[in-house]
Structure 1
Amino acid sequence: MAEDSIHRRHFVLLFLLSLFTLSTYPAMARHLPPGSTPSPATAILDVSATRAQALQALSFAPSSHQPTSHLLPHSHSSTAAAISLAIHSRDFLPSSAAHRHPDYKALTLARLRRDAARVRSIAARAALAVGGVAASDMKPVAEDKVAPIAAADSIEGPIVSGTSVGSGEYFSRVGVGSPARPFYMVLDTGSDVNWLQCLPCADCYQQTGPVFDPSASSSYAPLSCDSSQCRSLDASACRNSSSTEAAFASDGGEASCLYQVSYGDGSFTVGDFATETLTFGLSDPVSGVAIGCGHDNEGLFVGAAGLLALGAGPLSFPSQISARSFSYCLVDRDSSSSSTLLISAGAAQFGEASAVTAPLLRNRRLETFHYVGLTGISVGGQMLSIPPSAFAMDESGAGGVIVDSGTAVTRLQGPTYTALRDAFRAGTASLPSPSAWLLFDTCYDLSSLTSVEVPTVGFHFPGGKELRLPAKNYLVPVDDAGTYCLAFAPTAASLSIIGNVQQQGIRVSFDLDNAVVGFSPNEC
C-alpha cells in the first residue's frame, strides 16, 4: 500500500510538472540555431535571412536597358480559362532607383506614412457609409450570382509591391489600348474605379514610362453621361464639349462623362471616363473595359501609371468582366521576385489541403471591400478572450473585418489589439525590448541573434479553421540595427483590416460565386 501511495504521489507530481511546463512554454522565447524545430505553439523567425532580404530593397538597381515600351512581359502559364499577371513589390519597379532611401529606417518610415494615409482613407469611407441600413441589406456575395466572363475566360499576371512609388504597394504591368502599350498599375482590392494618367496633362505626376495617349489608340471610346458605367460612378459629371473635337464627335454629340476619385490621403484623379482594351500577359485582349483617363492627378501615386481596381463594386475589373473568382499572392515587400494575379471564369481553386477557407461577406453600405468572417485570434496556440462582436458587422454596416492589399499593417479594434499584444509580450519576456517605434509599441532588439523562437499568431474562422502565420509575417525589421516590431496596430475605425504584411507568401483566393475566401500558404 505504501509503495502504491508513493507511485501515486510521483504520478501526481509528474502530471503537475507537465501542466506547468505546457502552460509556461509559450512564454519562453528561445534563441535557436538555424534548422531547429519549433514547438506547436511557437514559430521560428530567421533573423539573418530577413535582415539580408531587407537589404535588397535598399540595393536594388534595375538594368539600364530594362524595357519600358516593348510588348507585355511574359506571363506565367495560363489556360483558356484564366488571365494571369505578374505581381511586383513597389520597391522593385524601374522608378524605385530614383527614389532610393538612405537606409532601411527611412524606407520603413516612408511605408508607414503611406500606410497611415491608407488607413485614414478607409476609415473615412467607412464612417461616411455606415448608418441606417437594415440587416437584410447585408448578405453574402453568393446571393449575387455573376455571368461567365464574356471578353476573356480568365486573366493572369505578375504582381509587384508599390511602396516606393506612391500610394499602392503592389503593381502589375498591363497593356492598354490598341496597339497595346504596357503600363505599371497599382493592384488595389480596396478600389472600384480603374484609371490611368492620360495626355493631355493638366497636372500629371512622375510615372514609370510614358503617359498614355488616347489619340494613339484605335480602341479608346469616351462614355456618354447616360451610359450605365457613368451612372455607376460615385462621383461623376457631364460636359457638353470635349477637350478634343474628335472625341466629342465620336460620342455622337452626347454629353461626355467625367469621373473623379478622391482618396483619404489627399490624392485624387480627374478626367474622362471611357472604355478601352486591356491586355494581360499572353491572354487575349479584353475590350470595352470602363476606365478613367486622368488629366489631373495629384497625390502619392508617383511611379505607377494608374490603378487596376479589384474591389467588389460594379466598376472594378473583376465585376466588369463577370469573373467568378480571382486570386493573388503577395511576395515579400523586400523581395525582387514576383508572383501572380489570376482572374478566372471558373470556380476558385484553393490548392493543397493546407488551404484555409472562410466566409466572404458583403456590406451593402460599403460594397467596395471584401469582408471575411473572422471569429478569433490565437497567440502561442491559445485563443485570446475576445468577444465575437469584435469581428462582427452590425446592422448599420459598422464593424467587420476586410482583407486589403493596400494596407500594410493589420489594424484591430483597441481591446482586440491589446489582448494580442499582451499575450505576445508574455511569450517573449526573455527578449530584449527597446522602446516603442512610432506606430509599433512592441519591439525587440534581435541584432545579436541569427534566429529566434517566438509565439505563433493565428487567425481563426468558422468551423474551427486556423490560418497560422509565418513568424516573418508578424515580426518585421524596421531599421538596419536589428530592431524588429510586432506588425499589428490598434484602430479607432469601425472595421478591422487584415493587411498585406500578414498576407505575404499566402495565396488569397476569392470565390465570388460561393462567397468563400481561401488562404493557401506557400501557393505562390
Structure 2
Amino acid sequence: MASLFHLFFLLSLSLSLSLSLSLALCRVKDPSESPGTTTTLDVTAALRKTTQALAFDPPRAHRQLLHKAIKTTTLRSSASTATLSLHIYSRDFLPLPDFTTTHKDYESLTLARLRRDFDRVRSIFARAAIAINGSDSKAAKAAAMPDSIRGTIVSGSSQGIGEYFSRVGIGRPAKPQFMVLDTGSDVSWVQCLPCTDCYKQADPIYDPTGSDTYTPLRCFSELCLSATNSACRNATCHYQVVYGDGSFSIGELAAETLTIGDAAPVENVAMGCGFDNEGTFVAAGGLLALGAGTLSFPSHLPSHSFTYCLVDRDTPGTSIIDFGPPTAQPEASTITTKLLRSKKIQTFYYLELTGISVGGTKLAIPPSALAMDSDGSGGVILDTGTAVSRLNKQVYEPLREAFVNGTRHLSPGTGPGIFDTCYNMPPMKRVQVPSVVFHFGEGKELRLRPNNFLMPVDSKGNFCLAFAKTPSPLNIIGNVQHQRMRVVIDMENSIVSFTPNKC
C-alpha cells in the first residue's frame, strides 16, 4: 500500500511540474519581447498602416498644426526654460492645405520612395569616392577661388534630399519655413528673393532684405573656405549644391539667425540664400543640414549634439528632434557604440558596428567588411535620408543566406528590383521570423523589431527584407532600422546611442 501511495505521489508531482512548465511557456506571449532565435511580425498591423497611409487628410493636419502653433504662442511667455526642439514630419505626410498625393496604391508609394532612395544612395557613394580620391583642401581652394560655379558640379556629388521635414524660423524677425532635415548634408539653405528660378513651396519665399541679421559672407572667410563647392563673386561667397536626382540650389552664402521652437535664437548660422533652385523638394523652402561638417547647424551649437526619433514612415504623426546634449539619463535598454570620424569626409556619422546575428547565430562577417580603412573608405554610416540599408557583399550575402534558411516555412513573395528576399503573407496575422541583432563593441547588442528589417511593399501582403547589396565598400544603416528608436548623436563624447521604443 505504501509503495502504491508513493507511486501516486510521484505521478502527481510529475503532472504538477509539467502543468506548471506548460503555463510558464504560455505566459511568453510575444517572442519579440524576449531573447531568442525568432521574433514575431504583426502582419495585420503592418498592412493596416499601408491602407491608412493613403487615407491621409492634409487639410485636417494643417488645421491641427495651426492649433498647435497658437497653443505654443500662448504658452511661450510662461516657459521659464526652453530647449532647441522641433517636430519631425514624414515627407509623405506634410500638414499643408494643398498637399496632395498622386499615389493610387501603396505599391506606387513604395516605388516613389525607392526611386528617391536610389538617388540618395548614389549621391552618398559619389560624395565618399570624391572625398577619398580627390582633394579639396582649404589652401588649394583659397589659391584658386573661382568666380563662377555654375556647371562645375556633377549630379550626385553631394547628398540626397532627405525624407523628414520640420518647421524652422529664419532671420529676425523669424519667418517660418518648412525645411528638409538631413544628416547627410553640411550646407543649410533656403530659397530667397529675388528668384532667378525657384520651385513652388508652401510658405512665402524668404526675403533676406526683411531680416536685421542677414550678413553675406566674404570670399576668404573660414566658413566660405569650408564649403565643398564655393566661388567668389562681387567679393561675396557663393555656393552650389547638387543632389542625386539632379535637384540643386545656387546662391549666396550668408550668416543668419535661426529660431528653433521657443528657444533663444541661434545667431551667425551659415545659411545659403538660394536664388536659383530646382528640384523635388515637395513643399519645403530649403534644407537644414545636420551633418558633422563645419557648416552644418549642429556645428554652431556648443555641444554639436542632438537627439531624434523618426516618425513611422506610414504614420501621419510627428516625432521630435532636440538639439544639445542629451537631457535624459540612459535607460537599461539603451545601447551605445562609438561615433567614429573619417579623415577624408567630415559629413557622415560613422558607427563602430562589429557584427550581425540572424536567428541567434552570429554571422561569419570579416571585421574588415565593417571597418573603415586607413584611407577612409568603407565603414558603416548612420543616415536618416536613406530608407533601405545598403551592405557590401561580404556583409549582405551571409545575412541574406541566414535569413532565407530561417524562413523556409514562408511563401515566396514579390517586390521591386532592389529586393531579392521577399515573402507573401496575406492570410497570416502574426508570423515567426528569425531575429536580427546588431553587435557593437564591448559585447553590446541591439535587437531589432521585425518592422525594422521587414517592410511591406504593397497592401497585398508582400514583405521584403529591408537590406540591399551594394558594390561600394561603404555600408549605410538606413532609417527603416532606426525608426521608433531614440537616437542620440553625442559629438562631445563620440558616442551614438539607441533606445528602442522610446519615441
Task: Give the TM-score category using the shorter length.
Answer: 0.7 to 0.9
Q: In the alignment, is residue 418 of structure 1 matched against residue 397 of structure 2?
A: yes
How far has the Cα of 1:132 moved from its partner?
8.8
Could you tell me which amino acid in structure 1 is paired with residue 177 of structure 2? Answer: F
Q: In the alignment, is residue 405 of structure 1 matched against residue 401 of structure 2?
A: no
2:23 corresponds in structure 1 to none
Q: In the alignment, is residue 370 of structure 1 matched against residue 372 of structure 2?
A: no
Same amino acid, percent of matched pairs:
54
Asked if the contact 2:415/2:462 (under 8 Å) is kept, the reply is no
CA shift in 2, pair 1:129/1:424, >3 Å: same
How far has the Cα of 1:323 moved from its partner?
2.4
Q: In the alignment, is residue 319 of structure 1 matched against residue 299 of structure 2?
A: yes
Asked if the contact 2:380/2:477 (under 8 Å) is kept, the reply is yes
Asked if the contact 1:194/1:291 (under 8 Å) is kept, the reply is yes
Please list, as runs of the form range in 1=range in 2, the aligned pairs for 1:32-181 lying within 5 A after superposition. 36-37=30-31, 40-63=36-59, 66=63, 74=72, 80=81, 82-95=83-96, 97-131=99-133, 167-181=161-175
Give the match's secondary structure for 1:502: coil
Asked if the contact 1:374/1:459 (under 8 Å) is kept, the reply is yes
2:236 corresponds in structure 1 to 256
CA shift in 2, pair 1:318/1:490, >3 Å: same
* Matches of 1:413 and 1:313, distance apart in 2: 25
Give the match's secondary structure for 1:458: strand
How far has the Cα of 1:270 moved from its partner?
0.4
Farther-moved stretch of structure 1 (76-85 vs 353-362)? 76-85
How far has the Cα of 1:494 moved from its partner?
2.3
* Matches of 2:294 and 2:265, distance apart in 1: 20
CA shift in 2, pair 1:81/1:415, >3 Å: same
How far has the Cα of 1:349 moved from its partner?
4.5
How far has the Cα of 1:322 moved from its partner?
3.1
Asked if the contact 1:72/1:173 (under 8 Å) is kept, the reply is no
TM-score (norm 1): 0.80
Asked if the contact 2:40/2:450 (under 8 Å) is kept, the reply is yes
* Matches of 1:459 and 1:451, distance apart in 2: 23
Q: In the alignment, is residue 514 of structure 1 matched against residue 489 of structure 2?
A: no
Output one character per residue of 1:375-414: Cα deviation in whole Å (capped at 9) or x when no partner.
Answer: 0000011100101111001111110000001110111001
CA shift in 2, pair 1:347/1:281, >3 Å: closer
Give the match's secondary structure for 1:434: coil
How far has the Cα of 1:488 moved from its partner?
0.3
1:343 corresponds in structure 2 to 323
Unaligned runs of 5+ in 1: 1-31, 134-165, 241-254
Give the match's secondary structure for 2:401: helix
* Matches of 2:282 and 2:198, distance apart in 1: 9
* Matches of 2:311 and 2:251, distance apart in 1: 33
Give the match's secondary structure for 1:485: strand
Give the match's secondary structure for 1:430: coil
Please list, as runs of the form range in 1=range in 2, the aligned pairs for 1:423-502 lying within 5 A after superposition. 423-435=402-414, 437-502=416-481
Asked if the contact 1:427/1:455 (under 8 Å) is kept, the reply is yes
How far has the Cα of 1:72 moved from its partner?
8.3
How far has the Cα of 1:35 moved from its partner?
5.3
How far has the Cα of 1:523 moved from its partner?
1.7
* Matches of 1:72 and 1:522, distance apart in 2: 30
2:257 corresponds in structure 1 to 277
* Matches of 2:238 and 2:51, distance apart in 1: 44
Give the match's secondary structure for 2:323: strand
* Matches of 1:69 and 1:353, distance apart in 2: 37
Aligned-residue Cα RMSD (Å) equals 2.5
Farther-moved stretch of structure 1 (113-122 vs 221-230)? 221-230
CA shift in 2, pair 1:73/1:413, >3 Å: farther
* Matches of 2:217 and 2:258, distance apart in 1: 16
Q: Answer 1 or 2: higher relative contact order, Cα 8 Å, separation at least 6.
A: 1
Give the match's secondary structure for 1:423: helix
* Matches of 1:395 and 1:73, distance apart in 2: 52
How far has the Cα of 1:91 moved from its partner?
1.1
Could you tell me which amino acid in structure 1 is paired with residue 120 of structure 2? Answer: R
Asked if the contact 1:310/1:318 (under 8 Å) is kept, the reply is yes
2:233 corresponds in structure 1 to 239
Give the match's secondary structure for 2:200: coil
TM-score (norm 2): 0.84
CA shift in 2, pair 1:436/1:523, >3 Å: closer
Give the match's secondary structure for 2:338: strand
* Matches of 1:79 and 1:55, distance apart in 2: 43
How far has the Cα of 1:264 moved from its partner?
2.8
2:193 corresponds in structure 1 to 199
